[in-house]
């Protein structure tokens, strides 16, 4: 018996070519038409940041707990990490990059600067979009209601008094009218 003869090679399996389905998606983004394709599982946040390279919108928790990813869809504030991109067909989306008009800052952006309403700035895009949505909703009538209705936007730096001051100044409210005993100094984080 000839033991030197090699066994025949096993038959090769045909390579598996995975076809990942994607879906057409069209919407307006900061006034520009977007026409793209997206897989069904991609969130709006990941589409904005990873594919459309608008990294102003931030990913904090990625599961609806921090508000860093807040954007406006048809004028309403939403957590873009909890929203699938394919659901946005035909929508009008505004991110922090779309708030200014050219060199002219949105009044909220200017108020955040004037009131020293950020420290690291990571939460700021979400705070700005959330405040924009809050003002459009027209439900906040007091400073306390502004605090309550902005409570989904976490600021790890604790710039809450300054954020509230910025938002209420744009809304024409008397700042801190509900708690005059707790004034704050710009540039400080209150205890
Ligand atoms: S990243 Fe969306 S809520 Fe935190
Ligand atoms: S400014 Fe740092 S998290 Fe809000």
Q: How far is CA 14 from CA 11, 17, 18, 30, 173, in A?
A: 9, 9, 12, 46, 69
Within 13 Å and on the Cβ side, how many CA atoms surround 53? Answer: 0
What pLDDT does 15 receive?
78
Q: Does domain 24-98 have CATH number 3.40.50.150?
A: no
Cα 110 to its chain centre, rounded Å, is: 19
User: Given the CA of residue 127, which atom of ligand 2 is nearest to it?
Assistant: 4
Residues with CB under 6 A from ligand 2: 118-124, 155-157, 159
Nearest ligand by distance to the CA of 45: 1
* Cα 95 to ligand 1 centroid, rounded to whole Å: 14
Tens digit of each residue's pLDDT (9 = 90 or more) over 15-54: 778 888 999 999 999 999 999 999 999 999 999 999 999 9
How high is the mean pLDDT of the chain? 90
* Cα 189 to ligand 2 centroid, rounded to whole Å: 11
d(CA 81, CA 67): 9
Q: For 104-150, where are the alpha helices, taking DSSP H only?
A: 107-114, 124-137, 143-149
Give the confidence band of 191 by pLDDT, cuts at 50, 70, 90.
Answer: very low
Tens digit of each residue's pLDDT (9 = 90 or more) over 149-165: 999 999 999 999 999 99
Strands (E) located in 57-119: 70-73, 76-79, 92-94
The pTM is what? Answer: 0.86
Does residue 153 come out as left (phi exceeding 0), alpha (psi in the -120 to 50 range) or beta? beta
Structural domain spans, the chain = 24-98, 107-170
What pLDDT does 11 receive?
77
Strand, coil or helix: 39:
strand
Instruction: Go through 82-117 and write b for each residue having 16 or more CB atoms within 10 A of its CB, e for each that does not.
Output: ebbbbebeebebbbbbbbeeeeeebebbebbeebbb
d(CA 75, CA 53): 22
Question: What is the CATH superfamily name and number for domain 107-170?
Answer: [2Fe-2S]-binding domain (1.10.150.120)
CB of 129 sitting under 6 A from ligand 1: no
* Cα 68 to ligand 1 centroid, rounded to whole Å: 5
* Cα 67 to ligand 2 centroid, rounded to whole Å: 11
Average pLDDT of span 6-17: 76
* Cα 65 to ligand 1 centroid, rounded to whole Å: 5
Nearest ligand by distance to the CA of 121: 2
């Amino acid at each position: 018996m000839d033991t030197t003869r090699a066994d025949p090679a096993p038959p090769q399996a045909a390579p598996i070519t995975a076809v990942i389905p994607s879906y057409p998606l069209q919407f307006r983004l900061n006034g520009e038409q977007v026409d793209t394709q997206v897989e069904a599982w991609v969130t709006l946040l990941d589409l904005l940041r990873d594919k459309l390279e608008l990294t102003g919108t931030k990913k904090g928790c990625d599961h609806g707990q921090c508000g860093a990813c807040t954007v406006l869809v048809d004028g309403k504030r939403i957590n873009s990490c909890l929203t699938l991109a394919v659901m946005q067909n035909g929508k009008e989306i505004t991110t922090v990059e779309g708030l200014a008009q050219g060199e002219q800052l949105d009044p909220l952006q200017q108020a955040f600067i004037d009131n020293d309403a950020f420290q690291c700035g990571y939460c700021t895009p979400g705070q700005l979009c959330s405040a924009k949505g809050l003002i459009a909703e027209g439900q906040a009538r007091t400073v306390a209601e502004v605090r309550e209705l902005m409570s989904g936007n976490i600021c790890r730096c604790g710039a809450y008094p300054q954020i509230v001051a910025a938002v209420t100044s744009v809304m024409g409210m008397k700042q801190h009218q509900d708690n005059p005993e707790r004034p704050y100094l710009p540039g400080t984080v209150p205890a």
